[in-house]
Amino acid sequence: MNRQRWAALLWVVALVYVVFYVGGQASSLISGLWPSHHEEIETPADPYADLSPVQIGQRIFEKQGCQSCHQIGLVGGTLGPSLSNVGVRRSERWLQQQLENPQQAVPGNYMPSYAYLNQPERDSLVAYMRSLNQDRQGLETGHGDVPQAMLAAAPATQRDPALIERGQQLFASNGCTACHIINGQGGAVGPNLTREGLRHRSDEWQKQHLKDPLSVYMDGPAAGAQWPMPGFARLADAELDALVAYLQSLR
């Protein structure tokens, strides 16, 4: 009698298991065929979907912190060269190479490689930099009032007027106007110097830059590297001081 009861109990347990198993499978099948009442998770929208390549490049420029080293419109760091009007100074090919391997053109310079960005991102960065032309230089064009905070933060302006005038003469006689614009006059091979005195460059930096332009952007010797600006170490110390006084007076 006990054996029959145990057998019956086992049959009941087996039947209950089968009922629950079949019911679960059926529920899963119905759920797959019948629309769920839960909201679907939306894929995040492309943040660059409605932006032009230039606008995308500007976003990447800001995200990568490029302005911590480079100035645009007098705003930014001073570790690297100004990028105002860089679009008329550098070719698309040069900019691409500089992003991928900055040490190739100028070994030992401070700029890191951005080869980790994908090609579309680098293309957009180049498009943005190529857009920085003579019409997009902000205060460096000489138009508009300079904010008082910017003037207050700039190096001192108390300089001998005669020394400034002598520096202006040397600037012209040494052909600097062929490469640099001041108040709309001059060439665009180099950065716009209309408000050079507001860049937060020290007199010592300016003087070293005149002697050996590339050295101020290098971590070590700059021997053999190519750079558009020639050095003026041949000038007398007093002449270099006059040039520095003139450059620092430009604001």
pLDDT tens digit sequence for 154-184? 777 788 999 999 999 999 999 999 999 999 8
Residue 71's domain is classified under what CATH number?
1.10.760.10
| CA-to-CA dists, residue 242 to 113, 166, 167, 172, angstroms | 37, 6, 4, 13
Structural domain total, the chain: 1
pLDDT band, very low/low/confident/very high, at 70 (cuts 50, 70, 90): very high
- Give domain status of residue 102, yes or no: yes
Strand partners, 218: 109
> Range of 209's domain?
53-249
Which uninterrupted H or E stretch holds 26? helix 2-33
Which of 66-75, 141-150, 242-251 comes out lowest in average pLDDT?
141-150
What is the band of 95 on the pLDDT scale with cuts at 50, 70, 90? Answer: very high
Residue 38 within any structural domain of the chain: no
45-49, 57-61, 120-124: range with lowest mean pLDDT: 45-49
Percentage of residues in the chain with pLDDT exceeding 90?
53
238 within some domain:
yes
Per-residue pLDDT band at 14 (split at 50, 70, 90): low
In a domain, 17, yes or no: no
3-class SS letters over 110-121: CCCCCCCCCHHH
Read off the pLDDT of each residue in 77-101 and give the average, rounded to a whole number. 92
Q: Which helix (H) or strand (E) holds 249?
A: helix 237-249
219 belongs to a structural domain: yes
Instruction: Give a yes or no: residue 23 inside a domain.
Output: no
Q: Is pLDDT of 103 > 80?
A: yes
pLDDT band at 242 (very low <50, low <70, confident <90, very high): very high
As a whole-number percent, the residues of the chain with pLDDT over 70 amount to 80
What's at 106, amino acid-wise?
Answer: V
Three-state SS at 185:
strand
pLDDT given for residue 148 in this prediction: 85
Q: Which of 130, 127, 129, 97 is nearest to 115 (CA)?
A: 97
Specify if 35 maps to a domain.
no
| Residues facing residue 76 across a β-bridge | 71
Q: Give the pLDDT confidence score for residue 101 in this predicted structure.
A: 93
Phi, psi of 222 (to 5 degrees): -110, 25
Is residue 7 assigned to a domain? no
